[in-house]
Amino acid sequence: MATSGGGGGGEIRVDPAALLAVAQRLHAEAGGTAQVLAASGRAGASGCPEVDAAMTNFEGQWTRQVQMLSQTTEAFAAAVASAAADYQHTDAAVMPGAGP
């Protein structure tokens, strides 16, 4: 959270525990998305070649998009967790003994 300080300066307050909680939630969501992806690939046969081709095409596109969503969510989770660790490291370096 950025807040305005006196004299034109700014102040940033970060709660690493909150960042870690968000990272854990994102990681869980990425896992859930990956499970949805694992259930794909079961397009039925309609008996109509045009419909079957369209469904196969749609499923391929859908699968790629869900896979990208899962990978992006996992990368976002890792970035948030890394930010929490960076803030903790910075606090420890700047204010030794201040505690978490």
Reported as a single tens digit per residue, the pLDDT across 11-49 is: 778 899 999 999 999 999 998 888 887 777 666 678 888
CB 3 within 8 Å of CB 14: no
| Four-CA torsion 30, 12, 96, 15, nearest 10 degrees | -40
**Domain edges within the chain:** 16-38+48-94
Across the range 60-88, mean pLDDT stands at 92
- Looking at residue 80, its pLDDT comes to 94
**pLDDT in the model for residue 2:** 47
Would you state the pLDDT for residue 98?
Answer: 60
Q: What pTM was computed for the model?
A: 0.67
